[in-house]
Structure 1
Amino acid sequence: MSISNDQFTIRFWGVRGSIACPGQSTVRYGGNTACVEMQVGKQRLIFDGGTGLRVLGQTLLREMPVEAHLFFTHSHWDHIQGFPFFVPAFIRGNRFTIYGAIAPNGSTIEQRLNDQMLHPNFPVPLQIMGAELAFQDLDIGEPVQIGDVLVENALLNHPGESVGYRINWQDYAVAYITDTEHFLDRLDENVLWLARNADVMIYDATYTDEEYYSERSSKIGWGHSTWQEAVKVAKAANVSKLVIFHHDPLHDDDFMDHIKEEVTRQFPNSVVAWEGLEIDLLAVPIAVS
């Protein structure tokens, strides 16, 4: 789909966390890892390059040449493994600006994407990609202006660090908040700031509270949150629509249906993300298809 000047549309190409989990039990919600596309005014923004990025790339082949801005939250494998299979990046005439914060060990996003494509991990190096790739190191707290779109960021609570984003255009705002773990004694100020009065908040709800606080197999310290915390944040930040995201690979379709029932009971204007979900912010009320 070509980009018009008057749109703010979100498309979900991968909604899982940790590892891709295709199979008969994940057909309805999908098994690809994190990748979210946003078409905002004249700009195409892509958030994370999990295995869903490969699927997005196949659809973009109908729109050559392609220009887009690709933002990474961090470089754990489930957020970067689709990048070496992103076909538009291999085609001359396309242009991608790639953003990511410097990791705690000092490596840039360019270095980390390059390293995963080195032998013996991958058969061809990043340098074989024919598209124009421009890498930009993000400073935490410093916004990025892309035309009339403003992308803000804040640090999240995740092992090895992760960055959350807020996309602002005209009077609309979307918060993309993954991977992050809530605090036990308070709501995360950075998360609240990113989500403030957002039209849509996409939030890492990998676990349920029962799983997170389990005496047998606690998930405390694993770097992810729960749908119950997502509801707390959505209410506290005055979010209009909540999107549950980054599903655990062990949660099959039936389990996700149950989460959907529970979430909508506590926050009616919410949706559990599935591959192919499209949200149109300019529709009144916000359209979901």
Structure 2
Amino acid sequence: MFSNGDRFEIKFWGVRGSIPCPGTETVRYGGNTSCVEMRVGKERLIFDGGTGLRILGESLLSEMPVTGHLFFTHSHWDHIQGFPFFAPAFIPGNKFHIYGLPAPNGATIKQRLHDQMLHPNFPVPLQIMQAHLEFYDIEAREIININDVTVETGKLNHPGEALGYRVTYKNLTAVYITDTEHFPDSLDNNVLHLARDAEVLIIDTTYTDQEYYDPKLSKVGWGHSTWQEAVKIAKSAKVKKLVLFHHDPSHNDDFLDDIKQQVQQVFPHAILAKESLVIDLKQEFCKPLWLT
């Protein structure tokens, strides 16, 4: 059971895919790319380092020193571009454990984060970061134990490969699955395994079915899924709360509002991720002792 000092909270710092899209039409949902923070027990877990990581980093400056675990799904630009601007990584006394899947060409997560900060792409190298950084190469189906927190990994269907993550603490589970493309004739068993009986499923829903199957500009093979397919996964895996994530940069606030109305007609416990949204699993899914 949870004690008074325990927590399992999810906060969204970046919810877009592909490219940041700030502007007047993306105010309600936000324009930063992928970054999700989980405060689990006494641990801080961060998933992906898109431009939302910069905002998270600024919020942490009042909490020094900071220790955290940063998990990357893969190293496409929209998932790593915030890392060079993550202020706590430049401050001595902070410590970050950084996890990622080796690239198909063998490049480690450390090498890829290092390479994006080399000239002519960036003015200062990774070595200028003064926090203690430890890097770990991990594989699909690996299980990582961080004290009382368990993190499971699974392979996703994305060009260049990607990992999904399942976080469990005291019988509560949150799952982070992006970027992945559904299969045409069956549900992805890797995704189903990660999502099984989860309290919260955060999942890639970049497109609508109409966009994905558009005969003039098909998105088949682009490595992303639709909200309609996410509903199928959530129902089959018996997920309690579905969170649509990795919004396409062309989807403005009104478009996303319309998707929210449509998805809630077929899965009432579905919401859309937006910046600053907080989900408290302990509050939503733990019954008071007098009800057990």
- TM interval, short-chain normalised: over 0.9
Structure 1 residues 84-117: Cα deviation after superposition (integer angstroms, max 9, x where no partner): 0000000000000000011101000000000000
Q: Kindly report which structure 2 residues correspond to 1:85-124, keeping only aligned pairs within 5 A, or say none.
A: 85-124=85-124
Alpha-carbon distance in 2 for matches of 1:34, 1:181: 17
AA aligned opposite 2:247: H
Structure 2 residue aligned with 1:27: 27
AA aligned opposite 2:90: F
Q: Kindly report which structure 2 residues correspond to 1:205-216, keeping only aligned pairs within 5 A, or say none.
A: 205-216=205-216
Q: 1:26 is paired with a residue of what secondary structure?
A: coil
Structure 1 residues 13-41: Cα deviation after superposition (integer angstroms, max 9, x where no partner): 00000000000000000000000000000
Structure 1 residue aligned with 2:52: 52
Q: Kindly report which structure 2 residues correspond to 1:262-281, keeping only aligned pairs within 5 A, or say none.
A: 262-281=262-281
Structure 1 residue 140: Cα displacement? 1.8
Question: 2:17 aligned with 1:6, yes or no?
Answer: no
Structure 2 residue aligned with 1:185: 185
AA aligned opposite 1:206: T
Structure 1 residue aligned with 2:80: 80
User: Does the aligned pair in 1 maintain the 2:208–2:227 contact within 8 Å?
Assistant: yes
Alpha-carbon distance in 1 for matches of 2:203, 2:123: 35
Alpha-carbon distance in 2 for matches of 1:116, 1:102: 15
Q: 2:283 is paired with a residue of what secondary structure?
A: coil
Aligned length: 283
Structure 1 residue 262: Cα displacement? 0.5
Q: 1:239 is paired with a residue of what secondary structure?
A: coil
Structure 1 residue aligned with 2:289: none
Structure 1 residue 139: Cα displacement? 2.2
After the TM superposition, list the runs of 4 or more consecutive aligned residues in structure 1 that deviate by more than 4 angstroms.
none
Structure 1 residue 284: Cα displacement? 3.4
Structure 1 residue aligned with 2:256: 256
TM-score, structure 2 as length reference: 0.96
Which sections of structure 1, spanning at least 5 residues, go unmatched?
Answer: none
Alpha-carbon distance in 1 for matches of 2:69, 2:96: 6
The 1:139–1:284 alpha-carbon spacing in structure 2 relative to 1, beyond 3 Å, is closer
User: Does the aligned pair in 1 maintain the 2:36–2:48 contact within 8 Å?
Assistant: yes
AA aligned opposite 1:54: R
Which sections of structure 2, spanning at least 5 residues, go unmatched?
Answer: 287-292
Structure 1 residues 193-228: Cα deviation after superposition (integer angstroms, max 9, x where no partner): 000000000000000000001111110000000000
User: Does the aligned pair in 1 maintain the 2:84–2:117 contact within 8 Å?
Assistant: yes
Alpha-carbon distance in 1 for matches of 2:144, 2:77: 25
Structure 2 residue aligned with 1:169: 169
AA aligned opposite 1:187: L
Structure 2 residue aligned with 1:70: 70
User: Does the aligned pair in 1 maintain the 2:14–2:31 contact within 8 Å?
Assistant: yes
TM-score, structure 1 as length reference: 0.97
AA aligned opposite 2:127: Q
Alpha-carbon distance in 2 for matches of 1:30, 1:267: 23
Alpha-carbon distance in 1 for matches of 2:103, 2:144: 18
Q: 2:25 is paired with a residue of what secondary structure?
A: helix
Question: 2:145 aligned with 1:136, yes or no?
Answer: no
Structure 1 residues 32-81: Cα deviation after superposition (integer angstroms, max 9, x where no partner): 00000000001000000000000000000010000000000000000000
Q: 1:144 is paired with a residue of what secondary structure?
A: strand
Structure 1 residue 189: Cα displacement? 0.1
AA aligned opposite 2:29: Y
Q: 1:282 is paired with a residue of what secondary structure?
A: helix
Structure 1 residue 285: Cα displacement? 5.1
Structure 2 residue aligned with 1:127: 127
Alpha-carbon distance in 2 for matches of 1:52, 1:85: 10
Question: 2:222 aligned with 1:222, yes or no?
Answer: yes
Alpha-carbon distance in 1 for matches of 2:190, 2:36: 21
Structure 1 residue 5: Cα displacement? 4.0
